[in-house]
Amino acid sequence: MKRFLATAPGLRPVFLFILLSIPVLTHAQDFVWTPGLQRAYADLQKLRVQSGKQQLELESAANGIRIFLDDYADMLTLVSSDDEQAFASLDDREDDRLDALKKLDDTSPWKRVIQAEVRLHWAFVKLKLGKEMSASWDVIRAYKLLTENQKRFPTFLPTYKSLGTLHIMIGSVPDNYVWVANLLGLHGNIRQGQQELQRAQQDPLFQLEARLIDLMVRAYVLKFTDADGQTLQRLVSEHPDNLLLHFFGATIEQKNGHSEQALTYLKSRPTDKTYIQLPIIENILGDIFLQKSQYTISAVHFQQFLTSYKGQNYIKDTYYKLFLCHWLANESDAKSRPFLQQVIQRGRTNVESDKAAQKFAEAYFKKGVSPNYKVLMRARIASDGGFTDSALAYLRPYAEVKFSISAEKAEYNYRMGRIYQRRDEPDAAIPYLNRALALSEPEQLSFGATAALQLGYIYQQKNDRTRARSFFQKALSFKRHEYKNSVDNKARAALSSL
């Protein structure tokens, strides 16, 4: 079960956002949305956690909505910091709140929804802290509560928002874990989940939250389009005081290679002291300036992240990026190498970026890198941020024959293919991606799986469904690489859409 929940790390940001939607009407006295609770919820949604908590103190502790929002505030505090000591001091509140909710009106459509939301709060916190088994059981219980609520109250929209997102997560589980889902009574698929999210968007009370969830699914599971980006931009601009929207807007755009737009969201975010601190923003800013080759500024942001962050995720990745800041700036080995040593010694490997950092550090210390590898790294980083002019300028003087080992030859072709694909030149990208795929298959390199995924997208866009399906299946066939979970999720989602 532990490995089952961990198969979709790319969905963790989506999983967080399903918790952010509660309407203002109620059907029972045990679940009353008072004006004060509405104000508290509005503050919490914007990440004004302290203000939200102050509002909650004025409300009845027996109200199921108050119980939910108390729990919501704790979840926001824990996931923003990844502080294991804080978790240890608060984790008994899950059982206390679930016990209190059990005593409330069983005829209300809110009861099971809120019980499920509390479980999902703690599941997400536990997942971030590496407690996958306990998180898994919370997800299973939440799913069963929501499916029961759907049967009893089929028109109650809050059920569909959370249940729809869980159906998408279940539909993204790799084939070799489907039997686990079936055994546990978890059923659903991506298309079903999307339809349920669309249904939730029909109600104006849920429209903002449901739209953002849908955009996050497109970004992390499906394929994020220019139209999706425009929708996201409108959402953020319409809510200038909402830090949560600015944060998710930045993460989505960075994920999809639009780092300049991500930087715009972060520069315009609200920053006064009424908002909760998000150390991860410093990490994102470090990434963006690294992609822009502004190494000194990038290193400052990464160091600020390490200073303010109390968790263990992204530690290896951050030290790896600090190594790159000095290494790509052509500083001495004495300045860059210690950061790579920290990659080996610090943090954990729960998330893919930390796994990739660990793999690079181990390979670097074992056999080093070739003289031409630095140009591949510069091109990769620039291309990942959408700075394709810079990326292409790095690689144009080179050809495959200039790289000495098969992995570097594969990466060169993959980078060239992705650059042309991002520049909307798919016909120029295809031969490079095909070559990357061929070079990667013998050693099952990640470049082959990702090249196959991108070829699938290209042929899907060309409406060549046969070739698209073939390449998506090829992406799934790669058995061992550090990005298998996210590649498989996207390939499976694409096959479902075909």
Residues 71 and 192 placed together within one structural domain of the fold: yes
Closest CA to 4 of 141, 145, 150, 184: 184
Asked whether residue 37 falls in the same domain as residue 108, the answer is: yes
Same domain, 308 and 335: yes
Domain membership flag for residue 305: yes
**Is residue 383 domain-shared with residue 348, that is, in the same domain?**
no
Domain edge (last residue) among 367, 384, 399: 367
- Return the pLDDT at 176: 59
Please write the tens of the pLDDT for every residue from 178-216: 656 676 778 888 889 989 999 988 877 677 778 888 898
Looking at the domain assignment, is residue 440 inside a domain? Answer: yes
Q: In this structure, is residue 238 part of a structural domain? A: no
Please tell me the predicted confidence (pLDDT) of residue 493.
80
Which residue is listed with tokens 């005593």?
A: 103
Q: Are residues 24 and 67 in the same domain?
A: yes
Does a structural domain hold residue 235? no
pTM over 0.95: no
Q: What is the pLDDT of residue 7?
A: 46
Positions of the chain with pLDDT lower than 50, given as ranges = 1-9, 18-27
Which pLDDT belongs to residue 22?
42
CA dihedral 396, 400, 403, 408 (to 10 degrees): 100
Q: What is the pLDDT of residue 201?
A: 87
Look at residue 280 in the predicted model and tell me its pLDDT: 95
Residue 248 lies in a domain: no
Tens digit of pLDDT for each residue in 292-348?
999 999 999 999 999 999 888 999 999 999 999 999 999 998 999 999 999 999 998
Q: Answer yes or no: is 188 within a domain.
A: yes
Q: Are residue 204 and residue 83 in the same domain, yes or no?
A: yes
Which residues lie below 8 Å from residue 123, measured CB to CB, with a gap of 6+?
15, 135, 136, 138, 139, 142
CATH code for the domain in which residue 497 is found: 1.25.40.10
What pLDDT shows up at residue 12?
A: 55
Same-domain pairing of 360 and 373: no
DSSP conformation letters of 182-198: HHTT----HHHHHHHHH
How far apart (Å, rounded) are the C-alpha atoms in residues 213 and 165? 8
What domain range includes position 293?
Answer: 279-367
70 in Cβ contact with 41 (< 8 Å) = no
Q: What is the pLDDT of residue 4?
A: 43
Whether 460 and 329 map to the same domain: the answer is no
Number of domains in the chain: 3
